[in-house]
Amino acid sequence: MAGRTGDFGKRSGITLPTFGDLLRRLREDRGASRERLAFGAGVSASYITQLEKGGKGKPTQAVVAALVRCLERWKTLSATELRHLQDLAGLAPQGYPTVEELRNSLGEDALRTLAMHRPNLAALYDTRGNVLAGNEDWAAAFPGLREDGNLYRWMFADPVARHVLYEWEFEVRQAVGWLRGMVGAAPDPAGFDELMAELGRFPAFRAFWCEGGVGFAPPVRTLRLRDRNTDVVRQIRVQVGLLRDTVHVGHIIATVGLLPG
């Protein structure tokens, strides 16, 4: 690990990042000795030395988890540091995190940003349409969605969705195509089993799904929403993107609806 350079490294003399290098930096940043880290993580000091110098194979998930727990007793790892440590250990995410795990992974900055977007609409979903967080303007624009907890289910199950989504059939058919694309791109489609079984109860969903349309949400699009109370229709510019600064990279989608000036 410590000598991982590749062709680029051989030409430039610059070594690529390794698990051992990052572990040493995190340990030293906390002013901890190898012996102290080893004791806290339940491993030997010689093992820590070998990890840092690249003399051992990549650590297991259990070892990395123990090292992280110990390091975080002294100072919390940022989401970026944690993700980088796991990547360098070769620990690809297994399966899908639960909704609760995703919600708990949201930092204060992400939640503060949602509030700062007001009066624009801002929310965070997972890739299966589960609601993770949203500001009050978003909740008012999509009545019942926060309570339902899933965007796709709300579209089909809540009669209010047919009223506030001005072009309900167009929007829902498009969303079903995006869901098909998301399922196809998933490393483990079984993560969508529960959602698909639930949506399959709705004849409209089955009809749209059987059309076979597929697509991916564009980074910017236009959405027309009808106010539930006044029936006023607003054209909203929606921006969509995956959150990168999170432990669960690739699982959390940020949406911001920009209101007309």
What's the pLDDT band for 213 if we cut at 50, 70, 90?
confident
Q: Are 59 and 213 in contact (CB under 8 A)?
A: no
Q: Is the peptide bond before 119 cis (omega within 30 degrees of 0)?
A: yes
Q: Domain count of the chain?
A: 2
Instruction: Say whether both 241 and 165 belong to one domain.
Output: yes
**Which pLDDT does position 2 carry in this prediction?**
41
Q: Are 256 and 121 in contact (CB under 8 A)?
A: yes
**Which pLDDT does position 245 carry in this prediction?**
64
Residue 4 has pLDDT above 80, yes or no: no
Q: Could you identify the residue written with the tokens 């969705």?
A: 161
Residue count of the chain, please give it. Answer: 261
**Domain of residue 194, CATH code:** 3.30.450.180
pLDDT tens profile 115-158: 888 899 999 999 999 999 999 999 999 999 999 999 999 999 99
**Which pLDDT does position 229 carry in this prediction?**
93
Instruction: Say whether both 109 and 197 belong to one domain.
Output: yes
Both tokens assigned to 42: 């339940």
Residue 93 domain-assigned (yes or no)? no
pLDDT tens profile 29-75: 999 999 999 999 999 999 999 999 987 678 888 899 899 999 999 99
**Domain of residue 61, CATH code:** 1.10.260.40
Evaluated on CA atoms 58, 63, 67, 69, the torsion sign reads positive
Instruction: Say whether both 147 and 245 belong to one domain.
Output: yes
Residue 1 domain-assigned (yes or no)? no
Residue 94 domain-assigned (yes or no)? no
Tell me which of 88 and 222 has the higher pLDDT: 222
Q: Kindly tell me the burial class for residue 150, based on how many C-beta atoms sit within 10 Å of its own C-beta (0-12, 13-18, 19 or more).
A: buried
Instruction: Say whether both 74 and 138 belong to one domain.
Output: no
- pTM for this entry: 0.67
Domain that holds residue 73: 6-88
Q: Quote the CA–CA distance of 129 and 233 in Å, as a whole number.
A: 24
Phi, psi of 239 (to 5 degrees): -110, 135
Q: Which of 59, 88, 117 is the last residue of a domain?
A: 88
